[in-house]
Amino acid sequence: MTLAAGVIIVYLLLLTGLGIWHSRRIKTGDDFALAGRKLGLTVTVGTLVATWIGTGSLFGSPDAIRQMGLATFIYPLGGAAGILLLMGLAGKARALPAKSVPQILGLRFGRSAQVLGACALVTAYMVMVSYQIRAGGAIAERLFPVEQAAAVGSAADTGAGVEVLAASGSERQRWAMYPILFAVFVIAYTALAGMVSVAWTDFINGLLMTGGLLAALAWVYWSWDPVSQPMEASFLELPGRITTVEWIGYLLPAFLLVMGDANLFQRFMSTGSVATARWSAFGMFWGVLLLELAVIALAILGCLVLQHDPQDAKYIILTLATSKLPAWLGIVILAAATAIVITTADSLLLSASTSVSVDLLGGMKGAGQQRVMVVLLGGIALALSYAGTGFFDIARYAYTLYGASLTPALVCALLLPRVPRRAVVAGMAGGLLTALVWKGLLLVGTLPVMLQAWDPCLPALTVNVGLIGILTCLLPSTSASDSLDLET
């Protein structure tokens, strides 16, 4: 066992101990899902930042370099813009008696909106958890590398997206266990104490990932020699090749997701007051912007320092940690990467299990039943993790499924109380269906050439908002007696 592997195992054991300690305080379903609505400002900011900075940032942003070059620095601005607007919604969400985002829709637009929102949420979040598991397997493969055979065989792209050269059957079997072991840890940790353990772990992991990423960025920057390691022309040329429609496709999914992300809203609902919810969104904006830009800068500089092909840069930060950085800093980066993946995976899993209980099964269950739900959904996500290999495109599509179907409805629920219920439900259904159909047409290649550059998010959002607008003009508005008072 390497020193890095030993340190990270100890780190995970400490997190487990923290979860066991917090689990003693969990008595009810509300304690499990919402931490008793007692989270303070500092912990809430930490858990919000750690929740958003996940595999989509650590592997997806470096993966985007092949398509965007230096313009990858603009990619986080979509999510950042959404967070700015989120500040106006956080306090309103905290003031409600709801325990999930689909329940907010149910309080305002009825049972159909609640169920449809829950289906979109659980589907998207299972996809997101699945690629967190694959990312965890990729990290484990670097901590406990498979012994490669002396003779090089053909490379195989496995479920975790890691190329493994010809190896013995036992070595391949050991590698195949990495995603499973990672999933087991995430499921068990999430099931221990729910939001209490997740929030405090996120706070600790947030400190680790901030310090590690900034230290690594400083070290790699001072190690880079622009003369002997020049920036390739492709880094500079790619931004000019991106069309307006493609820019919208890059920025819009994250913008929509953050505006309606149940993960984030569940944390706002867990705070001790409306003011805490609002200020935590402000702190999240600066923390997310700093770390997103640091990840992209580290990935680009890593490609230059290692002379690595940017066409396959999704694992460049892990490669830096294991081959270039000083041993102590490499261990910190691997620990930070582990923290990033764990915090996002357990947060998504907790939100999905809460939505199933509250929105699909008729109400918050006891802590024991909530734990069973976490285990079941975690098993589904593990099975899905073997269905793909990439990160950037999968992350954007998961964001689209959620954001283009649910976010406009949530904005209406919090800001536009008189929109007709049937208009919102029709918009949600139309947006979700359009996202699914458009992606299918892209995969089979039947869309006209001029539309093939359109990300599914754009037509899905257009259909959603268009239906809401048209039907609002045609249908009578909701009466004041039927409208939930959302003023804070």
Q: Are residues 137 and 126 in contact, defined by beta-carbon separation less than 8 angstroms? A: no
Cα–Cα distances in Å, from 65 out to 225, 312, 335, 360?
20, 9, 24, 39
Please give the Cα distance from 406 to 460 (Å, whole number).
11
Q: Which of 426, 410, 411 is nearest to 472 (CA)?
A: 426
- Give the position of tokens 């915090």: 343
- Over residues 126-159, the pLDDT tens digits come to 888 888 888 888 888 888 775 543 333 333 344 4
The residue-averaged pLDDT of 233-253 equals 74
pLDDT recorded at residue 292: 93
The answer to the question of residue 478 being in a domain is: no
Residue 163 in 3-state DSSP? strand
Instruction: Tell me how far the alpha carbon of residue 258 is from its chain's centroid.
Output: 10
Q: Which two tokens stand for residue 183?
A: 């999933």
Contact between residue 162 and residue 314 where contact means Cβ atoms under 8 Å apart: no
What DSSP assignment string belongs to 213-247?
Answer: HHHHHHHHHHH--TTTSPPPHHHHHHHHH--HHHH
Say if residue 40's pLDDT is above 80.
yes
pLDDT of residue 38: 75
Please tell me the distance from the alpha carbon of residue 220 to that of residue 107, in angstroms, as a whole number: 51
Contact present, 350 and 340 (Cβ < 8 Å)? no
**Is 409 inside any structural domain?**
no
DSSP 157: E
Burial call 422-447: b when 16+ CB within 10 Å, e when fewer:
bbbbbbbbbbbebbbebeeebeeeee
> Among the ranges 123-137, 224-238, 277-291, which has the highest mean pLDDT value?
277-291
Residue 267 vs residue 466, higher pLDDT:
466
pLDDT at 134: 85
Domain enclosing residue 52, as ranges:
3-392
In this structure, is residue 282 part of a structural domain? yes
The pLDDT value recorded for residue 16 is 78
- The stretch 423-434 carries a mean pLDDT of 93
Give CA–CA dist 250/487, Å, rounded. Answer: 34
> Cβ of 80: how many Cβ atoms within 10 Å?
19
What was the pLDDT predicted at 246?
A: 80
Which of 4, 60, 45 lies closest to 295, judged by CA?
A: 60
One DSSP character per residue, 32-91 reads HHHGGG-B-HHHHHHHHHHHHSSHIIIIIHHHHHHHHGGGGGGTTHHHHHHHHHHHHHHH
Q: What is the mean pLDDT of residues 400-409?
A: 85
Report residue 21: phi and psi, to 5°. Answer: -65, -45
Is residue 10 in a domain? yes
- Residue 471 domain flag: no
Lowest-confidence range among 291-295, 330-334, 346-350, 388-392?
388-392
For the cut 90, the answer to whether the pLDDT of residue 230 exceeds it is no
Please say whether the beta carbons of 483 and 93 come within 8 A: no
Report how many domains make up the chain.
1
Burial class (CB in 10 A: 0-12, 13-18, 19+), 386: middle
How large is the average pLDDT for residues 379-405?
77
DSSP string for residues in 418-454:
TS-HHHHHHHHHHHHHHHHHHHHHHHHT-S-GGGTTS
Instruction: Please give the residue that has the higher pLDDT: either 415 or 198.
Output: 415
Give me the helix-helix angle, 316-323 and 327-355, nearest 10°: 150
Work out the pLDDT band at 63, boundaries 50, 70, 90. confident
- Residue 447 domain flag: no
Q: Looking at the domain assignment, is residue 158 inside a domain? A: yes
Can you tell me the distance from the alpha carbon of 208 to that of 341, in angstroms, rounded to the nearest whole number? 13
Query: Which residue in the block uniquely carries the two structure tokens 């975690």?
Result: 378
| pLDDT exceeds 90 at position 485 | no
Of the listed ranges 13-22, 89-98, 189-198, the least confidently predicted one is: 189-198
Report the pLDDT averaged over residues 244-264. 82
Mean pLDDT, range 392-411, rounded to an integer: 81
Is residue 488 over pLDDT 50?
no
Tokens of 419: 């929109």
Mean pLDDT, to the nearest integer, of 284-295? Answer: 93
pLDDT at 466: 95
Pick 10 or 155 by higher pLDDT.
10
Strand-pairing partners, residue 271, are: 39
pLDDT level of residue 487 (50, 70, 90 thresholds): very low
More confident residue, 169 or 82: 82
Is residue 110 assigned to a domain? Answer: yes
The closest of 385, 384, 359 to 33, measured between CA atoms, is 359
Write down the pTM of the prediction: 0.76
Q: How many CA atoms lie within 13 A of 60 on its CB side?
A: 26
Both tokens of 139, joined, read 């990290």
Token readout for 338 is 């582990």
* Averaged pLDDT of the chain: 80
Q: Which H/E stretch holds residue 6? A: helix 3-23
Cα separation values, 30 from 26, 193, 245, 450, Å: 9, 11, 43, 50
* Percentage of the chain lying above the pLDDT 70 cut: 82
Residue 329 has pLDDT above 60, yes or no: yes
> Bigger pLDDT: 331 or 312?
331
Q: How far is it, in rounded angstroms, from Cα 294 to Cα 179?
A: 27
In this predicted structure, the answer to whether residue 330 has a pLDDT above a threshold of 60 is yes
Question: Tell me, what CATH number does 34's domain have?
Answer: 1.20.1730.10
Segment 399-418 mean pLDDT = 85
pLDDT of residue 217: 94
d(CA 19, CA 200): 9
Confidence check: pLDDT of 479 > 60 = no
The predicted model gives 245-250 an average pLDDT of: 81
- Range 317-337 average pLDDT: 88
